[in-house]
Copies of this chain bind each other. A is one copy, B any other.
């Protein structure tokens, strides 16, 4: 059993910049040489999330509209009184989306679906540098 710690580093534009990180993940996985186990993805921070979806422009737009509807950016948040950085909506979106995801791999293959990409969801209202933790555990 091996444990390998890696990072995927990206720069986001803020404001619902959703970034496909599948290629970087595949590179890390291939270089690891591992056959069976799990990869844990984790975004350190309180204004971003991580999930999977079919990364195409129509759906990206749909998801932006979805988040705008259920946690709008143009209404009052109590969090904004605390810090004055006007990103209360970013924190709410990140909290219910969740910061972690675990993907199993088997016989040297990451078990994602054909159209299933791994995506960083930037919810903050300004550009950010993000280091997504990619930890492989397996053999």
Interface on A for B, CB 8 Å cutoff? 1, 3, 5, 36-38, 40, 42, 44-46, 51-54, 56-59, 61-63, 66, 69-71, 77-83, 88, 91-92, 94-104, 106, 111-113, 115-116, 133, 135, 137-139
A91-B62, A115-B46, A116-B46 known; A52+B99 contact, CB < 8 A: yes
CA distance A1 to B37 in the complex (A): 11
By secondary structure, the A interface counts as mixed
Instruction: Give A53 to B103 CA distance when docked, in angstroms.
Output: 22
Determine if A36 and B3 form an interchain contact, defined as CB atoms under 8 angstroms apart.
Answer: yes
Chain B residues with Cβ under 8 A from A112's Cβ?
A: 44
In whole angstroms, how far apart are the Cα atoms of A69 and B51 in the complex? Answer: 21
- Neighbouring B residues of A135 by C-beta, 8 Å: 36, 38, 104, 106
Point out the residues of chain B lying under 8 angstroms from A95, CB to CB: 51-53, 59, 63
Residues of B within 8 A of A88 (CB): 58-59, 62
